[in-house]
Amino acid sequence: MPNSAKIGPEEIESRFGFHKAAIEGDNVTSLTHTTLRRLFKEFATQLDEMLPAGRTKYLAFTELETASMWSHKALAESNPIVRE
């Protein structure tokens, strides 16, 4: 693999380092995390009522959970990494 294909230490740290949710200052994300959780729960509750039981319903919930996780990661990455 050529060197240009490397992701690099900064990108690796950004992807896998710990981004703490900010509770104050310019990059406050804790309220946004709370809002995301509320919205995903509301949508999941509506889907639970609307969708018939079965494999596809459970797949929809798995994908919704995946979307939730990626959404929270996107928010977290807006904050600096906490160095261990």
User: Domain map of the chain by residue range?
Assistant: 10-82
- pLDDT tens, position by position, 6-62: 878 888 887 777 777 666 666 667 778 888 999 999 999 999 999 999 999 999 999
- Provide φ and ψ at 6, rounded to 5°: -70, 145
Q: Which pLDDT belongs to residue 49?
A: 95
Whether the predicted pLDDT of 83 surpasses 80? no
Token pair belonging to 30: 């804790």
| Burial (CB count <10 Å: 0-12, 13-18, 19+), residue 29 | buried
More confident residue, 74 or 46: 46
Confidence band (pLDDT; 50, 70, 90) for 73? confident
